[in-house]
């Protein structure tokens, strides 16, 4: 009988020693449920310690299990990548001399290529959609600006006090203009009177000179 995992499962704070023991048992017995429980661990320190202590004869079965899950369940790529990267970097020397390693990794390469191809298509589509959205938004803004310019103000507010002040100012200006015109008329009359007085004085002087000659 296999050992029962600690309460709460491997994802709930399993130590590296417990995770390694469960991983070894899952790989040796082919227990997929137990293996899934171990692979649900997210702590990088636990994953690194678990893989570092794993016996060499279990490295290939673990790699095969990770590749198979990455190919059949692409949605778990982020979850499985941490395990795959740690496994390949920690035991690089072992996998470099492993016969037919490329055959073992071929499904993983194929999955990665498919994801990258889909990503390029999605990226291109996202760029076109963004361009279309920008065009529609700019057109809507121009239409709104045109409509606003044609509509004009919906309400015109006029301050009664400001109008009264303007009228008072205009009335005062009219009064000043009228007073200025009156002043000009008076000045012209004064000038005419002065000119008349000068002419009378000149006539008097001419008469005096005539009398003296006689």
pLDDT at 41 over 80: yes
pLDDT band of 99, cuts 50, 70, 90: confident
70 φ, ψ to 5°? -65, -35
pLDDT band of 121, cuts 50, 70, 90: confident
Opening angle at CA 50, ends 44 and 51, nearest 5: 90
pLDDT at 5 over 50: no
pLDDT digits (tens, 9 = 90+) for 165-198: 555 655 655 566 666 656 666 666 666 666 666 5
pLDDT at 188 (0 to 100): 62
pLDDT at 134 over 50: yes
- The DSSP-derived string for 162-180 is HHHHHHHHHHHHHHHHHHH
pLDDT at 25 over 90: yes
Tell me which of 111 and 91 has the higher pLDDT: 91
Question: How many Cα atoms occupy the beta-carbon half-sphere of 77 within 13 Å?
Answer: 10
């Amino acid at each position: 009988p296999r050992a029962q995992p600690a309460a709460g499962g491997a994802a709930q704070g399993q130590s590296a020693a417990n995770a390694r023991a469960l991983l070894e048992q899952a790989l040796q017995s082919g227990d997929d449920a137990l293996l899934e429980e171990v692979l649900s661990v997210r702590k990088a320190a636990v994953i690194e310690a678990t893989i570092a202590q794993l016996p060499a004869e279990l490295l290939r079965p673990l790699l095969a299990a990770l590749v198979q899950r990455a190919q059949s369940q692409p949605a778990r790529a982020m979850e499985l990548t941490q395990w795959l990267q740690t496994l390949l970097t920690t035991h690089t020397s072992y996998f470099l001399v492993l016969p037919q390693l490329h055959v073992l990794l071929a499904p993983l390469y194929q999955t990665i290529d498919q994801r990258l191809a889909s990503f390029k298509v999605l990226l291109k589509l996202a760029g076109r959609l963004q361009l279309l959205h920008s065009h529609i938004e700019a057109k809507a803004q121009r239409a709104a600006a045109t409509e606003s310019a044609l509509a004009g103000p919906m309400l015109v507010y006029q301050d009664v006090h400001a109008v009264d002040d303007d009228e008072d100012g205009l009335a005062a200006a009219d009064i000043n203009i009228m007073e200025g015109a009156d002043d000009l008329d008076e000045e012209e009359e004064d000038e005419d009177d002065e000119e008349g007085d000068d002419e009378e004085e000149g006539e008097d002087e001419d008469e005096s000179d005539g009398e003296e000659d006689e």
